[in-house]
Amino acid sequence: MKIDALSFNIHKGFGPLNRKFTLHDIKEFFKKTHADIVFLQEVVGENRQHAASVEHWPDDPQYEFLADELWHHHAYAKNAVYEHRHHGNVILSKYPIIETNQINISKNQWEKRGVLFARVEMPNGKHLDTYCVHLNLLNRDRKRQYADLRQIIQHYSEGNPIILAGDFNDWNKKASPGLDELGIYDAHKTLHGHYAKTFPSILPLIPLDRCYTNLEVTEARVLYGWSNPLLSDHCPILVEVNI
């Protein structure tokens, strides 16, 4: 069975430099991708100030607005929580999510980070373990988070089909060795020999966003040009795998 997985840091629904509210454009873009499972970072669950001041701000949380009729199952985990707003990671799925968990991997007081885990029941009877992450900006913190990821995956998913996707902030390409030891490889590098360049969206030069899996990869590409490069400050990645 083939499935398409999309990973995208949506920058809270704003384009580069926060100049334009793009959430409605993102929703229209999603309809064209036909993705089965979507991994999103920087998704707003609530922002009372924006709800009052930003034109066309949706009444529902961003993840419900984006899921709508496209994906009937979703999981949301708050990472950054403030008095009148919060945002975090989201997994959207066409197939039932039968188990979820949020694991805190924050390493400093400024960057609140978590791993969102969701076990998806596939039509062929298999269970797919999905993880959505957004890692720290500082390399020393990311090293500790890589170790956390290995332990989490070993705890939840040893021997299971896995997709781990998100914004790794891994500009210096240090994330893969520990994950390779678990048999989980970056999909784009597996097919093309190099990591996907996804940032900044206007001229993507830096490979920040990744999709790791232990499944057979049949396609992996950055949706740049084909999509609107100004939907976010990141470009999305689309990966096709066999399960």
Q: What does 122-136 look like in DSSP terms, one character per residue?
A: -TTS-EEEEEEEE--
Q: Are 230 and 223 in contact (CB under 8 A)?
A: no
| Sequence-distant (≥ 6) Cβ neighbours of residue 75 within 8 angstroms | 90, 91, 97, 100, 116, 118
What's the confidence (pLDDT) of residue 109? 84
Q: What is the DSSP letter of 69?
A: T
- pLDDT at 226 > cutoff 80: no
The count of C-alpha atoms lying within 13 angstroms of the C-alpha of 111, restricted to the half-sphere facing its C-beta, is 18
Q: What is the DSSP string of 188-215?
A: HHHHHSSPPP-BSTTS--B--EEEEESS
Q: How many CB atoms lie within 10 A of CB 221?
A: 16
Q: Which of 92, 100, 44 is nearest to 71 (CA)?
A: 92
Q: Are 192 and 239 in contact (CB under 8 A)?
A: no
The whole-chain average pLDDT of the chain stands at 94
Percent share of the chain, pLDDT over 90: 80
pTM (two decimals)? 0.96
Q: What is the mean pLDDT of residues 190-211?
A: 96
Q: Are 72 and 64 in contact (CB under 8 A)?
A: no
Question: How far is it between the farthest Cα atoms of the chain?
Answer: 48
Name all domains of the chain by residue range, CATH numbers in brackets: 2-242 (3.60.10.10)
What's the confidence (pLDDT) of residue 225? 65
